[in-house]
Amino acid sequence: MINFYEEALKRKDDLLKDLETLVQIPSVDDPSTAGLNQPFGKANRDALDAMLSIGKRDGYAVEDVEGYAGHIDVGDKEETFGVLGHLDVVPCNPVGWNTDPYNMVIKDGVTSI
């Protein structure tokens, strides 16, 4: 049986780098930059592209659903296992932060986003 905790630890640095890439995108809905294949604005498009790029880099089949969604597929599609998530964030109040809200911070071995 696969020990997923051990597998994640083996990939910790790479996983944190990918997480940092995604955190740095302020993917707030922005109708002023919406358009073809980016119905929720440029930043959301950037977040979707980044995630699909990670999936493709790691050898998975990826599909962009006209900027509304995307999926990263594993296997031959005979059976499907889905994990739903989202990449957009709500607007943040710029006041009250000790660090930039769109930068990941690792302090004393603890990752904060």
pLDDT tens-digit series, residues 60-93 = 989 999 999 999 988 776 777 777 889 999 888 8
The pLDDT assigned to 29 comes to: 95
Dist. CA 33–CA 48, nearest whole Å: 15
Inform me whether the pLDDT recorded for 104 exceeds 80: yes
Residue 28 CA neighbour count, 13 Å, CB half: 9
Listed range (1-15, 26-40, 45-59) with the worst mean pLDDT = 1-15
Residue 79 phi/psi, 5° resolution?
A: -125, 150
